Amino acid sequence: MSKPSVVHLPDMSKPRLMRWLLLVGLSAFLLRLWISMALPVTGDEAYFYWWGIFRDWGYYDHPPMAGWWMSAMQTTLGHAPWAIRLPAVLLPVAMGAVIWWTFLPLDRDRAGWAVLLFWLAPLNWLNALITTDTPLMFWSLLSMACLVRAELVPKDHAPRWGLYTASGLFLSLAFLSKYFAVVLGFAYVVYFVLYRRDRWPALLLLCLCALPGPLINLAWNASHGWANIMFNVFNRHQSSGVELHKPLLYLAMLAYLVTPGALWLIFKHRRVWRDAWGSKPAVSKLVVCLLVVPLVFFGCLSLKKVVGLHWVFSFYPMLFVFMAFSLPKASLKRCAQALAAFTALHVLIVGLIATTSLEQWQGKSHYFSLVRAFRTAQILEKFDSPGTVLMADAYSPASVYGYVRERYVPVFGPGSFHARQDDFETDFSQFQGQTIRVLLSDPAVLSDFAPYFDSVKAVQIEQDGATFYGVEGVNFNYPAYRDGVLRWVYQRYYNIPSWLPMTDCPFCRKVCGEPRCAP
């Protein structure tokens, strides 16, 4: 009776797979670098750019880490788009190195496959934009890596306590990046409660080391009218309701992130659960917790909210670790080929778009936004006028205009519940009596501006076939603006619950001179 054939895949020490890792990693890096130089700065990036200029321990929407990273890039490399985006460009390289270090002791070959599969995902070829998720992904993966390595150390060995400490500290830094770090902490608790109750001191140490981030955030919020809490807990969820299409969108998004080919292979081998984890079954349970707990959490949240693609990015690497260590070795090459084909389609589409000119998009639905993004300097050159103060009616355009003009551009009017950092940065009393020009997204309604000026007039300019509108107001009346706009903003966005203790609220002081305005 003949022996069954065995498929031997190349070990990481052999040149062939190493060449593929180098080829994929370098190619993806060069594409991201090109995108970082070719694309104009987006509204979100410009918004975070100003966080880097106005360094603080917190900001209206989120904790401060993205602003700190922006500040570091501005200080060391300058203000060019590629410079402020460099952390996002380097992020997949760093994350691949962390994945390799984390799982190397478990299985050298499969750790290499985990890195290769991760680098083959479309996200790691095309995402060159820096967001609050950029530092969150980095610190979260480092925290997970230290916890996995700690679980690989025998119970009585002292080095594991240093790893638990590092995991908690990195979790603290993740929290200072974005509140989604709480979901990671919850996954840790689930893991220890279900599988590691004998190591409860390790969980306690991890939690204690994670405390500095939340404490810093609480102190900043208490001195800034609880802006983070008001935004993330109250203001952004008032219109949320249960709708069937939201969880369906979430499932479709997950299928996209897994990619069709990988999804099929996971389904095909669904009954295989794994000798590949060897003598470390606890690590396999940890990886499952790090992947499944967040996905279930966001699944429950999707009943009321549309879950964004970026919400799951921090836990995305664990998907590829799961595949690399759970699929039969004979299927890993097919999985890599399926990912490569899926990513190649994305790269082809990006390449085709890159060959077009701005004029070819004229008449399309997003043409106005494209002109505003690629012709910002020319638009501002036509609209801005000596002796006037340039403003915008929305936060993203204002941030981009300020980035291009290299001076901060305030937002005139109530704005939206998003991105209200301008509430802290701008003191409208300094514009009393001045002439203000507000660049708008839609035709001007002069009656909206008339109460705050002696006279107003509409302004209109053309750029590449797109029409841009604005308003010029003469002799700004700050008391009228404070009573007509700022008080409404306070009532709408700073209706701070009385049970929240406060040491200060800079915006409240602008409105009524007190840290908490009377109802």
Tokens of 328: 């039969």
**Residue 9: its pLDDT value, please?**
42
| Burial class, 115, CB count within 10 angstroms (exposed 0-12 / middle 13-18 / buried 19+) | buried
Provide the 3-class DSSP secondary structure of residue 461: strand
Contact at 8 Å (CB) between 60 and 419?
yes
pLDDT at 431: 97
Closest residue by Cα to residue 295 from 211, 180, 448, 130: 180
On whether the CB atoms of residues 300 and 189 are closer than 8 A, the answer is no
How far apart are the C-alpha atoms of 19 and 17, rounded to whole Å?
5
Domain positions in the chain: 15-227+243-354, 368-494
Burial 259-285 (b: 16+ CB within 10 A, else e): bebbeebbeebeeeeeebbeeeebbbb
CB 445 within 8 A of CB 400: no
Report the pLDDT value the prediction gives residue 269, as an integer from 0 to 100: 80
CA–CA gap between residue 110 and residue 66 (Å, rounded): 33
Dihedral of alpha carbons 38, 43, 48, 54, sign: positive
Please report the pLDDT score of residue 58 as a whole number: 94
Residue-level pLDDT, tens digit, the chain, 519 residues? 344 433 344 444 456 778 999 999 999 999 999 999 999 999 999 999 999 999 999 999 999 999 999 999 999 999 999 999 999 999 999 999 999 999 999 888 899 999 999 999 999 999 999 999 999 999 999 999 999 999 988 766 667 899 999 999 999 999 999 999 999 999 999 999 999 988 899 999 999 999 999 999 999 999 999 998 888 877 765 556 678 888 999 999 999 999 999 989 888 887 665 555 555 677 888 999 999 999 999 999 998 888 888 899 999 999 999 999 888 888 899 999 999 999 999 999 999 999 999 999 998 888 999 999 999 999 999 999 999 999 999 999 999 999 999 999 999 999 888 889 999 999 999 999 999 999 998 899 999 999 999 999 999 999 999 999 999 999 999 999 999 999 999 988 888 888 888 899 999 888 888 877 766
Q: Per 3-state DSSP, what percentage of the chain is helix, strand, and coil (rounded to 5)?
A: 65, 5, 30
The pLDDT, as a whole number, for residue 328 is 86
Tokens (6 digits) for 178: 């974005």
Instruction: For residues 115 and 141, give the distance between their C-alpha atoms in angstroms, rounded to a whole number.
Output: 13
Angle (nearest 5°) at CA 339 between 335 and 340: 115
Tell me the CA distances in angstroms from 468 to 357, 371, 391, one per residue in order.
Answer: 20, 10, 14
Q: What is the pLDDT of residue 244?
A: 82
Cβ atoms of 449 and 471 closer than 8 Å: yes
Written as six digits, the tokens of 258 are 């897994």
The pairing of strands 435-440 and 388-392 is: parallel
DSSP alpha helix (H) spans, 153-222: 159-175, 181-195, 200-209, 212-222
Q: State which H helix or E strand residue 148 sits in.
A: helix 133-152
| pLDDT at residue 1, rounded to an integer | 39
Amino acid 13: pLDDT:
46
DSSP three-state, residue 157 = coil
Cα 358 to Cα 367: distance, rounded to the nearest angstrom: 8
Cα–Cα distance, 350 to 123 (Å, whole number): 13
